[in-house]
Amino acid sequence: LDTSQGTSNLERSRKKCQRLRGEDASSSAPAPPPPAYSRSKHHALIAARCASSRRPFNSVSDPYYIQEVQMLCPEANLPSPQTVSRDVLAMYSFGAEAVRNYFLV
């Protein structure tokens, strides 16, 4: 496998694909703007992260995590561990109900 061309093969393939799709192959499209901050979406993401990654609810109290969030979004308001726990339970209850309704005959 010849890797001396670095990312040249990738760039050539991108341009070819864009030509086949009728797009301008000379430059890639600019990245879309980041979504606006939403407290409810942020809380949902935290709950999903805790549930799916088996993270403790009190991970939102970690000083380094708080600093990271404040650095990325100063107006962010982190939930308490108790709120994360309630959010995870609410997500589970909603999901369980949806699954139960799906399998009702």
Residue-wise pLDDT for 47-62, tens only, equals 999 999 999 999 999 9
Name residues whose C-beta falls within 8 Å of residue 83's C-beta, 6 or more positions apart in sequence: 43
Name residues whose C-beta falls within 8 Å of residue 77's C-beta, 6 or more positions apart in sequence: 39
* Residue 26 sits in the same domain as residue 47: no
* Residue 58 sits in the same domain as residue 40: yes
Q: What percent of the chain has pLDDT over 90?
A: 63
* Residue 6 sits in the same domain as residue 18: yes
Report how far residue 86's alpha carbon sits from residue 18's, in angstroms, rounded to the nearest whole number: 46
State yes or no: pLDDT of 26 exceeds 80: no
State yes or no: pLDDT of 86 exceeds 90: yes
Domain span holding position 13? 1-32
pLDDT at 30: 74
pLDDT at 2: 60
Residue-wise pLDDT for 32-42, tens only, equals 888 889 999 99
Residue 55 token pair: 């993270």
DSSP string, 57-84: GGGGG-HHHHHHHHHH-TT--PPPHHHH
For residues 57 and 84, the answer to whether their CB atoms sit within 8 Å is yes
* Residue 20 sits in the same domain as residue 46: no
* Residue 20 sits in the same domain as residue 39: no
Looking at the 3D structure of the chain, how many domains does it have?
Answer: 2
